[in-house]
Amino acid sequence: MTQIILNGLFVGSFYALIALGYSMVYGIIKLLNFAHGDIFMFGAYIGMTCLTVIPGIGSLGIGAIAIVLLISALLTGATGVLIETLAYRPLRSAPRLSVLITAVGMSFLLEYGVRQIWGPDPQPWPQAGRLTEAANWPAGLQWGAQRIDILGGSLTGAQLVLMALAVVLMAVLALYIGKTREGRAMRAIALDKRAATLMGINVNATISRVFFIGSALAGVAGVMHGAYYSSITFLMGFLLGLKAFTAAVIGGIGNLYGAMLGGLTLGLLEAFGTAWFGGEWKDVFAFVFLIAFLTLRPTGILGERVVERM
Amino acid sequence: MSLPMIDPSALLTTHPEAVPRPETLLEVKNLRLAFGGVVAVDGLNMNVHRGEIVSVIGPNGAGKTSAFNCITGFYRPDSGEIAFMGKSIIRTRPSKITRMGMARTFQNLRLFSDMSILDNVRTGAHAHLRQHWFDAFLHTPAYRKTERACEEDARYWLDFVGFTGDTLLYVTQLPYGEQRRVEIARALATNPKLLLLDEPAAGLNHTEKRGLVDLIRRVRDLDIAVVLIEHDMGLVMDISERIIVLNYGKEIADGAPDDIRANPLVIEAYLGAGDDEEPADGADQASADPGQPLPPAPPSLPEASATADRSDGGEARR
Amino acid sequence: MESLKTYFSGQRGVYHGIAIAVVVAVFALPFITIDAYTIQLATQALIYVLLALGLNVVVGYAGLLDLGYVAFYAVGAYTSGILTTRLGWPMWATIPAVVAACVLAGVVIGGPTLRLRSDYLAIVTLGFGEIIRVTAQNLSITGGPSGIFGIPTWSFGSWSFNDGLTVGGLFFNGKILLYYFVAIVVMVLGLIGIPRLANGRLGRAWRAVRDDEDAAEAMGVNTYTTKITAYIIGAVWAGLAGQLNASLITTISPTSFQFLQSALVLMAVVIGGMGSVPGVVLGALFITLAPELLRDVWENRSLMFGILLLAVMLFRPKGLWPATSILPWSRDKHRAKVDTKPAQARAEEV
């Protein structure tokens, strides 16, 4: 039981990190960014490439992963900004359908662009960047590759580190959105873009910033995924992106805490579903929950009641 | 007035006179609507009687469009009662209300942009057009008959509003004034007993406004009551038989144009707070209500607010 | 003769002229070649045309983004496949079951989601596509990962397409008969049926909902039932296409119903022109034939399609053959009657 909960929370923290990007973008420009899951995948590929290309990085052990995380976050963030500027911005006043289709096209471009460069087969994550390898953990931190007992269940140290990282990132993001000038601008645009413009907020710059942060988080999640699961494919963003979106909806789309809560909830639901119904149905649960939530409570757990307009 | 000799009612399956019309078409009692903490409509009472022309006026943010949206079913009021032809229409879908005989136009022209003018107006006949999709699929005689009637009906209304151009054009190819006309024709094609016009004169030039006054009178002559929200006081005073003045979501006056002109409360509402200087919470109200222009746009700049409102307002509503 | 010339230079006439040419070409194909590969490919292309025209109802007319359209294709294929192989039903008898299964699936998916903003539909349909695939993979009745094989062709009584048919001394084999059968179904259901639906009361309501949902509602159009009708009609069309495909390829497995397939059909609709029948037909032919014809130069077709999709959306959002296109020579006639002064300038005159 505890083990199921722990597994669920671990997977859920991935969902939450990706869901944040979905939710932020949706909150600010009401766009369902289909390419978001693929940014996650792209982040993993960037990470993998860095680990193979940068000379001497293999000897750094756990430090290598930290460096790669940073590079990957910056590059995916930039990719997100680029996508927004080139593909979404010109269509900002176009019908919603056009923008959605463009997002699907972008997702395709990322998936098959990556396939073009790195090939269609799953890629092994370099040994030096694997969190599960005991050799990568410096002396004194050997617990990182071992299992640690928690309340009758157990997680590996790597899992704990990743969860902690996710929590830290989310806390920083919450502070940024809640306390800073830029965060306030984001919230203002989410509420009323036109009024925000009139108040002198640079809407384009703020939207770019949102894309940067959301994509960077997805990139981080991509590297974490690679470092933990040791194998990446060009299609891995599709399913994970879908689930992250489900998480965002469950939590209440457009709401940051909702995305975090939704991610963990979905992780738990999936863990229990797998335990009870078998692993082959794992991918179906998320969508069944999605449909159930949209039917029963479309605003999600934390979503506010919107003024009812028929 | 040169109209073709077609009686529109003869073409329709449900004859408009088949249902006896009560003297009071619309009754609004204690209507209240709040967006979050901002009260847009605050205990509104108003009646519309058969065959009259009523104007609803008030400073920007007075809740006129919000009230319209409640009456036509687009917003769900927090409390209050709305009865149309003696039946409550609270919690009724807008389409159902339209079928009952209440048609409306929008403040910011909302025609179907990728459809021809004729198709736009034909869509208005949707509710009373008895046509099964299977008939359309097979092109049965029933389909041909209904479709022909529907087209003649649409052409009648286009003639009625004085549209003379090519009906197969896309509406976006039309100039603004013509689009307004088409929108009114489209609303009339729903075969209404009550027509609500939200700022129909906005953006029209002097000649077009005169045409509009004439058109509204001719609509009334068909025994269709007309309620309009309008900022052009000259037009309002000219055409209205009764004027209802709103401020802060309440009606502050209700009477004949001459009484309204002399009413001290009305003068205060317009001059005291100032038409151009928005009252503090009036501004909030406008931002909460996508139907209201923001910033308070003078009626002479409709296109700018129209396009902007269309994208943002529509988004908020969906 | 003169009136005929006038007719075929009008907007309607040109479309009818093109339609006649296409019909002649489709029927002439087996007389040009009876190469099995060509006939198979042509049949497949026609099925895709039907599929794309069905999706066009959902996306092009009703403006709903369906990203799991292939799920209904799968429902149709599996329903007919299971009933014919496990219960021994003849193919034609499974049509009501296919229709019923698609309607049911459409109601289950569309019912709750169509009440919400349209982008939720996109993601739910995406999820639905995955559910159907995973379900097909894990159930024993659907044959699991290996799928169903040996699906029979169409038979009527004791005669089936595979028996062939001799007409006027010409022998038509099973493949060619199936090709003709598919061609007729596609033309009746897709090329004649769907435009007819789109021009009637229901079709106007679809387009009205697509252009402005609130205004449609104000015109007495119940937007919810209108959307769900479009969704279900799209579902049934896909199901029938799936059934045709099952009888063509005789083997179906979960791998033939991946998201990629849905995306390809969507591309056919978008690249051709949403809501435009000739555009969608061209789009469908393009996505089926281009990878075959350009197999050597075009290795990573998905990447190309992705780029093409983006380019179309950014530079020609109404597609290559837009639904609102007016022939060049009738355009001048139209323009002459319009006051082209921009509305902004007019507004400022006031």
Q: Nearest residue on chain C to A238, judged by CA atoms?
A: C259
pLDDT reported for residue C2:
59
3-state secondary structure of B5: coil
- Write down the mean pLDDT value for chain B: 77
**A309 contacts on B by Cβ (under 8 Å):** 74-76, 317
pTM of the predicted model as reported, rounded to 2 decimal places: 0.82
Residue B255 main-chain phi, psi, to 5 deg:
180, -170
pLDDT reported for residue A191:
80
ipTM higher than the 0.85 cut: no
CA distances from C114 to C107, C110, C128, C194 (A): 10, 5, 14, 22
Q: What is the 3-state secondary structure (H, E, C) of A144-174?
A: HHCEEEECCEEEEHHHHHHHHHHHHHHHHHH
DSSP-derived secondary structure letter, C252? B
How confident is the model over B26-83, as pLDDT tens digits? 888 888 888 877 888 888 888 888 888 999 888 887 788 888 888 888 888 888 888 8
pLDDT per residue of chain C (350 residues) written in tens, 0 to 9: 557 777 776 777 788 888 888 889 888 888 888 788 888 888 989 999 999 999 999 999 998 988 889 999 999 999 999 999 888 888 888 999 999 999 999 998 888 888 877 777 888 888 888 888 888 888 888 888 888 888 888 888 888 888 878 888 788 888 888 888 888 888 888 888 888 888 888 999 999 999 888 899 999 899 999 999 999 999 999 999 999 999 888 889 888 888 888 888 988 898 888 888 888 998 898 888 887 777 666 667 778 888 888 888 888 888 888 877 766 665 555 444 444 444 444 444 43
- Our CA-based measurement puts residue A120 at a distance from the nearest CA of chain C, in whole angstroms, of 10
Do A194 and B74 lie within an 8 Å CB cutoff? no
How confident is the model over A2-53, as pLDDT tens digits? 888 888 888 888 888 898 888 888 888 888 888 999 999 999 999 888 888 8
Q: Which residues contact B51 (CB under 8 A, 6 or more apart)?
A: B220, B223, B224, B225
Do C323 and B114 lie within an 8 Å CB cutoff? yes
- Our CA-based measurement puts residue C306 at a distance from the nearest CA of chain A, in whole angstroms, of 5
CA B30 to chain centre: 21
Q: Is a pLDDT exceeding 50 seen at residue B285?
A: no
Domain boundaries, chain A: 19-236
**A32 contacts on C by Cβ (under 8 Å):** 119, 122-123
pLDDT band at A145 (very low <50, low <70, confident <90, very high): low
Top-confidence range, A155-164, A198-207, C74-83 = C74-83
Query: Of C242, C141, C179, which Cα lies nearest the Cα of C37?
Result: C179
C126 touches chain A (CB under 8 A): yes
- Among partner residues B106, B133, B168, which is closest to C200 by beta-carbon distance? B133
Do B111 and C208 lie within an 8 Å CB cutoff? no
A302/A75: higher pLDDT: A75
**C339 contacts on B by Cβ (under 8 Å):** 175, 178
Residue bearing tokens 């690679």 = A226
pLDDT reported for residue C243:
92
B205 touches chain C (CB under 8 A): yes
C214 touches chain B (CB under 8 A): yes
Average pLDDT over residues A110-120: 88
- Our CA-based measurement puts residue A294 at a distance from the nearest CA of chain C, in whole angstroms, of 7
**B186 contacts on C by Cβ (under 8 Å):** 219
- Our CA-based measurement puts residue A257 at a distance from the nearest CA of chain B, in whole angstroms, of 21
C113 touches chain A (CB under 8 A): yes
- Our CA-based measurement puts residue C134 at a distance from the nearest CA of chain A, in whole angstroms, of 7
A195 touches chain C (CB under 8 A): no
Q: Nearest residue on chain C to B306, judged by CA atoms?
A: C344
How many folded domains does chain C comprise? 1
Q: Which two tokens stand for residue B202?
A: 């906005």
- Our CA-based measurement puts residue A290 at a distance from the nearest CA of chain B, in whole angstroms, of 20
Strands B102-104 and A231-232, by their bridges, are unpaired
**B127 contacts on C by Cβ (under 8 Å):** 219-221
User: Looking at chain B from residue 239 to 268, which residues have their Cβ under 8 Å from any Cβ of chain C?
Assistant: none
pLDDT reported for residue B172:
84
Residue C40 falls inside a structural domain: yes
3-state secondary structure of C205: helix
How would you class C90 by CB atoms within 10 Å of its CB: exposed for 0-12, middle for 13-18, buried for 19 or more?
middle
Q: Where are the beta strands (DSSP E) in chain B?
A: 24-35, 38-49, 53-57, 79-84, 87-88, 102-104, 194-198, 225-229, 242-247, 250-255
Do B106 and C221 lie within an 8 Å CB cutoff? no
**B99 contacts on C by Cβ (under 8 Å):** 220
Q: Is the dihedral of CA B11, B17, B23, B25 positive or negative?
A: negative
**A102 contacts on C by Cβ (under 8 Å):** 309-310, 313-314
Residue C342 falls inside a structural domain: no
C145 touches chain A (CB under 8 A): no
Do C113 and A288 lie within an 8 Å CB cutoff? no
C201 touches chain B (CB under 8 A): yes
Contact C312, C304 (CB under 8 A): no
Do B312 and A310 lie within an 8 Å CB cutoff? no
**B94 contacts on C by Cβ (under 8 Å):** 214, 217-218
What string of DSSP letters covers A224-278? Answer: HHHHHH-EE-TTHHHHHHHHHHHHHHHH-TT-HHHHHHHHHHHHHHHHHHHHHH-
Q: Is a pLDDT exceeding 80 seen at residue B24?
A: yes
**B73 contacts on C by Cβ (under 8 Å):** 217
C225 touches chain A (CB under 8 A): no
- Our CA-based measurement puts residue A71 at a distance from the nearest CA of chain C, in whole angstroms, of 26
Contact C73, C240 (CB under 8 A): no
A23/B13: higher pLDDT: A23
Subunits close to A (at least 3 CB pairs below 8 A): B, C
Q: Which two tokens stand for residue B240?
A: 């209205």
- Among partner residues B112, B135, B170, which is closest to C212 by beta-carbon distance? B112
pLDDT reported for residue B272:
65
**C196 contacts on B by Cβ (under 8 Å):** 136-137, 139
Do A193 and B312 lie within an 8 Å CB cutoff? yes
Q: Which residues contact B17 (CB under 8 A, 6 or more apart)?
A: B9
Q: Of all residues in chain B, what percent are helix, strand and coil, respectively (each to 5)?
A: 45, 20, 35
A194 touches chain B (CB under 8 A): yes
pLDDT reported for residue C340:
41
pLDDT reported for residue C329:
61
Subunits close to C (at least 3 CB pairs below 8 A): A, B
pLDDT reported for residue C328:
62
Long-range contacts of B254-262 (CB under 8 A, 24+ apart): B254/B46, B261/B237
How confident is the model over B173-220, as pLDDT tens digits? 888 888 888 999 999 999 898 999 988 888 888 888 888 999 999 998
Q: Of all residues in chain C, what percent are helix, strand and coil, respectively (each to 5)?
A: 75, 5, 25
Residue B163: what residue type?
F
pLDDT reported for residue C103:
95
Contact A39, A215 (CB under 8 A): yes
B37 touches chain A (CB under 8 A): no
Do A195 and B287 lie within an 8 Å CB cutoff? yes
Residue C338 falls inside a structural domain: no
Number of Cβ pairs < 8 A linking chain B and chain C: 157
Q: Nearest residue on chain B to A307, judged by CA atoms?
A: B35
Q: Which two tokens stand for residue C154?
A: 């169409």
CATH number of C114's domain:
1.10.3470
For an interface test with C, the pick among A288, A291, A295 (most C C-beta atoms closer than 10 Å) comes out as A291
Query: Domains along chain B?
Result: 23-113+194-317 (3.40.50.300)
Do B175 and C341 lie within an 8 Å CB cutoff? yes
Residue bearing tokens 């029979």 = C152
pLDDT reported for residue B309:
38
Q: Which residues contact A43 (CB under 8 A, 6 or more apart)?
A: A72, A73, A75, A76, A218, A219, A220, A221, A222, A223
Residue C185 falls inside a structural domain: yes
Domain carrying residue C101: 2-333
Do A102 and C134 lie within an 8 Å CB cutoff? no
Count CB atoms within 10 A of the CB of residue C247. 25
pLDDT band at B15 (very low <50, low <70, confident <90, very high): very low
A115 touches chain C (CB under 8 A): yes
pLDDT reported for residue B293:
39
- Our CA-based measurement puts residue C222 at a distance from the nearest CA of chain B, in whole angstroms, of 5
- Among partner residues B104, B175, B176, which is closest to C218 by beta-carbon distance? B104
pLDDT reported for residue B20:
53
